[in-house]
């Protein structure tokens, strides 16, 4: 499955939206869900997805859902910067396997970048559950502050 094809309602992010798979949720509203990447490329790597759009990528998503997603991306990027104090932040989105997409439900990556730290391999090593839970708690607390 790549740039063109049918939306698979059994993809892992669709299961997370339906509550059939777990996630380290940091933000949710009626339209958008954000959670920690469990194979983080950096400390604080967060994913933001539309809940209502059955869109595999940027080409398929409706403008309203996309607007809601990018608005949350900006809000959470500010929260992550305030909490984690990175030296930079990457915001990325991939379309099709040759472009690096591995999960075919539209998502945006927020990847904090720290001075002198290289990115981990994309969708590489799994983070420790305790570390993810502690980070989740920090971000949720900062959001509520």
23, 72 contact by CB (below 8 A): no
Is 101 one of the binding residues for ligand AMP (CB under 6 A)?
yes
Interface region with ligand AMP, contact rule CB under 6 A, candidates 1-9, 81-89, 96-104, 110-118: 96-104
| Angstrom distance (rounded) from CA 114 to CA 18 | 34
CA distance 113 to 109: 12
Part in contact with ligand AMP (CB under 6 A); list of ranges 70-78, 95-103, 113-121, 132-140: 95-103
Q: Does 7 bind ligand AMP (CB under 6 A)?
A: no
To the query of whether residue 107 is one of the catalytic residues in this protein, the response is yes
Q: Does 123 bind ligand AMP (CB under 6 A)?
A: yes
Q: Which stretch binds ligand AMP (CB under 6 A): 3-11, 81-89, 98-106, 127-135?
A: 98-106
Instruction: Please say whether the dihedral angle defined by the alpha carbons of residues 23, 39, 51 and 108, taken in this order, is positive or negative.
Output: positive
Q: How far is the CB of 137 from ligand AMP (least distance, A)?
A: 17
Q: How many CB atoms lie within 10 A of CB 144?
A: 6
- Which residues are CB-neighbours of 89 under 8 A, at least 6 positions away? 77, 80, 81, 110, 111, 112, 113
Among 2, 71, 74, 102, binds ligand AMP (CB under 6 A): 102
Q: Which residues bind ligand AMP (CB under 6 A)?
A: 12, 23, 37-39, 47, 94, 100-103, 123
Positions annotated as catalytic residues are 107
């Amino acid at each position: 499955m790549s740039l063109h094809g049918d939306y698979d309602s059994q993809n892992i992010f669709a299961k997370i939206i339906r509550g059939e798979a777990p996630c380290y949720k940091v933000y949710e509203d009626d339209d958008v869900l954000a959670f920690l990447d469990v194979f983080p490329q950096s400390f604080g790597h967060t994913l933001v997805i539309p809940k209502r759009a059955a869109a595999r990528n940027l080409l398929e998503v409706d403008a309203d859902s996309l607007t809601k997603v990018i608005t949350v991306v900006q809000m959470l990027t500010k929260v992550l910067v305030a909490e984690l104090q990175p030296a930079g932040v990457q915001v990325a989105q991939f379309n099709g396997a040759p472009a690096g997409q591995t999960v075919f439900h539209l998502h945006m990556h927020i990847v904090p970048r720290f001075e002198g730290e290289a990115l981990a391999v994309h969708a590489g090593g799994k983070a420790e559950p305790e570390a993810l839970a502690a980070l989740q708690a920090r971000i949720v607390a900062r959001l509520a502050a």
